[in-house]
């Protein structure tokens, strides 16, 4: 069993049945009601294992949320809050978020505002959730198609990362997690990047050491700057364009958060390269790695304004500008860069141009 921690949040990595989860529940919540929040997939693939492994969860209230980002919204939270009220959940009880980033973001948000804060534990079940979403205390939901507009900074009481949950995770979702791992490498370490570039197929991702290295990047940044005043912003690399594409496609042909981030990493690297900040060699390496694993998407030029609107409304911005991250070299990025609309347009054109070469 390996242990990491940030601020006061203990993180345990290894088979959850042989770790301290049960002891933690018994010590901290001996007479508490337990609420487990799942989506349809984690209900089918992960819940039974948890309930049969831990007698403490035998009587847990199970709250089922429909799958997918489109359900990370206030209406769904409201239903869960009503259920929490019906079950008379109090601040002495505990919520266990068993799922990917949608469940840890939304379950954390639900718990953090119900009765001004019910404690919660994250048990991430997607790769993206393990290396990124479950760590760092950002909880949230989307609003009007805009990502994470409502949310709180509230840390889980503890986090348990058991990579055996990944056995049922669809391949595409493992690649979505890989995208955030690439981001972690690009903002912090060429060595980690070199390890990730060696990943050929999804089996290579089921690697506890690689996952832990990625988690450590996130932990180091959130520990130094928990409220995103400064260096934590590096974690937004790829997200200015990524969030705009993800938000724009949400009601058309949705793509995974990680997939959108991978495209964002590539196109924001393109902008950095066009500014002569990123070398051709590094840009080509990033482009190659991303295009080997992720499909491009066609962005209709008639809708560029809509995409720019999504980027403009991102919560990272202020004073009407579009803010993003510039990459100087693999492992070194710069925060608080203003992207011009024309740069976004030229990056969209670049992707569309590449796509048309394939057709």
Catalytic annotation, residues:
116, 138, 180, 218, 228, 232, 236, 239, 243, 257
Least distance (Å) between residue 248 CB and ligand NAD:
15
Closer CB to ligand NAD, 253 or 276, in the complex: 253
Residue 291: helix, strand or coil by DSSP?
A: helix
Closer CB to ligand NAD, 19 or 156, in the complex: 156
Closer CB to ligand NAD, 155 or 343, in the complex: 155
Least distance (Å) between residue 216 CB and ligand NAD:
15
Least distance (Å) between residue 301 CB and ligand NAD:
27
CA 82-145-186 angle, to 5 degrees, is: 110
Closer CB to ligand NAD, 32 or 67, in the complex: 67
Closer CB to ligand NAD, 94 or 169, in the complex: 169
Least distance (Å) between residue 281 CB and ligand NAD:
29
- Residues 23 and 255: their CA atoms lie apart, in Å, by 39
Least distance (Å) between residue 176 CB and ligand NAD:
5
- Residues 2 and 219: their CA atoms lie apart, in Å, by 15
Do residues 336 and 233 touch, judged by C-beta distance below 8 A? yes
Closer CB to ligand NAD, 5 or 26, in the complex: 5
Residue with the closest Cβ to ligand NAD?
101
Residues in contact with ligand NAD by the rule CB under 6 A: 39, 41-42, 45-46, 67-69, 72, 99-103, 105, 125-126, 128-129, 132-133, 136, 138, 147-148, 165, 168-169, 173, 176, 256-258
Q: What is the dihedral of CA 180, 182, 183, 187, to 10 degrees?
A: 150
Least distance (Å) between residue 31 CB and ligand NAD:
30
The 10 Å Cβ neighbour count of residue 283 is 19
């Amino acid at each position: 069993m390996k242990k990491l921690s940030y601020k006061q949040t203990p993180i345990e990595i290894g088979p959850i049945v042989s770790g301290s989860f049960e002891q933690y529940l018994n010590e901290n919540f001996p007479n508490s009601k337990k609420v487990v929040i799942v989506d349809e997939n984690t209900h089918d693939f992960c819940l039974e294992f948890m309930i049969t492994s831990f007698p403490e969860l035998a009587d847990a209230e199970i709250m089922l949320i429909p799958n997918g980002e489109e359900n990370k919204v206030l209406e769904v939270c409201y239903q869960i809050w009503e259920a929490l009220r019906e079950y008379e959940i109090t601040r002495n009880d505990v919520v266990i978020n068993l799922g990917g980033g949608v469940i840890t973001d939304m379950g954390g948000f639900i718990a953090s505002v119900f009765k001004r804060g019910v404690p919660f534990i994250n048990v991430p079940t997607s790769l993206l959730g393990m290396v990124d979403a479950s760590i760092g205390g950002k909880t949230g939901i989307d609003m009007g198609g805009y990502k994470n507009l409502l949310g709180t900074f509230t840390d889980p009481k503890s986090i348990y990362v058991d990579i055996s949950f990944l056995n049922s995770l669809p391949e595409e979702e493992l690649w979505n997690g890989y995208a955030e791992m690439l981001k972690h490498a690009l903002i912090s370490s060429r060595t980690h990047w070199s390890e990730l570039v060696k990943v050929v197929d999804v089996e290579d991702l089921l690697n506890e050491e690689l996952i832990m290295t990625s988690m450590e990047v996130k932990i180091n940044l959130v520990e130094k700057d928990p409220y995103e005043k400064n260096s934590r912003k590096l974690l937004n690399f790829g997200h200015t364009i990524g969030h705009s594409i993800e938000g724009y496609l949400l009601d058309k042909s949705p793509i995974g958060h990680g997939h959108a981030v991978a495209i964002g990493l590539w196109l924001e690297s393109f902008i950095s390269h066009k500014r002569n900040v990123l070398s051709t060699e590094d840009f080509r390496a990033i482009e190659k790695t991303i295009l080997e694993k992720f499909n491009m998407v066609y962005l209709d030029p008639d809708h560029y304004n809509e995409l720019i609107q999504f980027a403009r409304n991102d919560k990272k911005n202020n004073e009407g500008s579009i803010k993003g991250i510039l990459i100087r070299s693999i492992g070194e990025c710069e925060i608080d860069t203003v992207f011009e609309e024309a740069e976004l347009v030229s990056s969209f054109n670049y992707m569309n141009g590449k796509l048309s070469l394939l057709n």
